Amino acid sequence: MMLRLDQNEFARNELLQVCRDSYADDPIELKKIDTFEQTYDPRDAIRWYTTDCFLYRLINRSLRTESIGHIFKLRYFIHDLHNQLAQIQKEFLRLLPSNQIILQLYRGLRMQLHELHDLERNEGNLVSTDTFLSTTSDYEAALSFSGDGNVEDNYISVIYEITVDTTLTHWIPFAKIDYLSIFKDEDEVLFSMGAVFRVGQAKQLKDRLWMIELTLTSTEDEYWNVLTNHLHST
C-alpha cells in the first residue's frame, strides 16, 4: 500500500521534483519549496499542509483528478500527513469528555445545484472523499465558509453536518489539528483521504442555504484500496 512504502531519499526527491516542475514559473513557490527541502520534518506535516502553499494545492488537485502518477510522486508527504493524523488521533479521542461519544462537525462549501440534487438522490447511500477533508466543530465558521446564501448565480451554500460515533473503529484517521496548524482558531478536525460517509437528509435552511447530514462509517473505500495496492506494485 502507498502509505506503507519506504520513506527513502528517492521518494523525497520525487516529491521535490514534481513540486518544482509544477511551479517552475512561480518564483515565490519555488522559494517555499527550497525552504521545505531544507527544513522539513515529518512532525511538521500538518503545519505544512495547512500552510497556503504548493503542497496543499498540488496534493488536493492530484487527489481530486485521481492522477495516480502525481499521487505516487507525492507519496512521501502524503504518508507523513496520514501517519501524523493517525498518531494524534489516539490522544484526540482519549482527551474527549467521557460523555462525548458523538462528535458533531461541520464543513461549509459552495456547490452547484445539480451537485445538491445528486446528493439528495443518494440519501441512504455511501459517498467517499477524494481528498483530505477539513471540518470544524464551529458551526458559525462553517456557515461563513459556505457563504451563508450569498453566493454567485448557479451556486448554493451548503453545510455538511457530520456525525462521528467515536465508539466505532474507523479505518481512516481523523483528529483535531488546530494546535499543529497554521490556523489556530478554526477548531479544525482533519480526515485523511478516503473517508466514507452515509448520506442523510438534505434540508433547506433558507434561500440558497442547505444542510446535508453525513455520518462517518467504518467502511473502507474500495477505490483507495485499489489505488494504494497499485502504487505498492509500481
Q: How far apart are CA 37 and CA 32, in angstroms?
A: 9
Residues 160 and 214 in one domain: yes
Element (H, E) at 78: helix 75-94
Residues 111 and 201 in one domain: yes
DSSP 25: T
Total tally of structural domains belonging to the chain: 2
Q: How far apart are CA 173 and CA 83, in angstroms?
A: 8
Cα separations in angstroms, 128 against 70, 86, 101, 219: 20, 19, 23, 10
Domain enclosing residue 123, as ranges: 100-219
Residues 23 and 126 in one domain: no
Residues 124 and 171 in one domain: yes
pTM: 0.88
Residues 25 and 121 in one domain: no
Residues 12 and 72 in one domain: yes
Binning pLDDT at 50, 70 and 90, where does residue 67 land? Answer: confident
Is it the case that residue 2 has pLDDT exceeding 60? no
Residues 116 and 156 in one domain: yes
- Which set of grid coordinates corresponds to residue 60? 488536493
Cβ neighbours of residue 224 closer than 8 Å, sequence gap 6 or more: 128, 193, 194
Question: Residue written as cell 485523511?
Answer: 192
List pLDDT tens digits, range 138-171.
999 999 999 999 998 889 999 999 999 998 888 8
CATH number at residue 149: 3.90.176.10
Residues 62 and 104 in one domain: no
Residue 221 is predicted with a pLDDT of 60
**Mean pLDDT, residues 3-24:** 86
Residues 79 and 23 in one domain: yes
Binning pLDDT at 50, 70 and 90, where does residue 189 land? Answer: very high
Residues 171 and 71 in one domain: no
Binning pLDDT at 50, 70 and 90, where does residue 95 land? Answer: confident
DSSP 129: -
DSSP 208: T
Residue 231 is predicted with a pLDDT of 44
Residues 49 and 76 in one domain: yes
**Mean pLDDT, residues 198-227:** 85
- Strand segments, DSSP code E, in the chain are 102-112, 126-128, 133-136, 155-165, 174-176, 188-191, 196-206, 209-216
Q: How far apart are CA 230 and CA 37, in angstroms?
A: 27
Closest residue by Cα to residue 118 from 197, 209, 199: 199
Arithmetic mean of pLDDT over the chain: 88
Element (H, E) at 139: helix 139-146
Residues 142 and 172 in one domain: yes
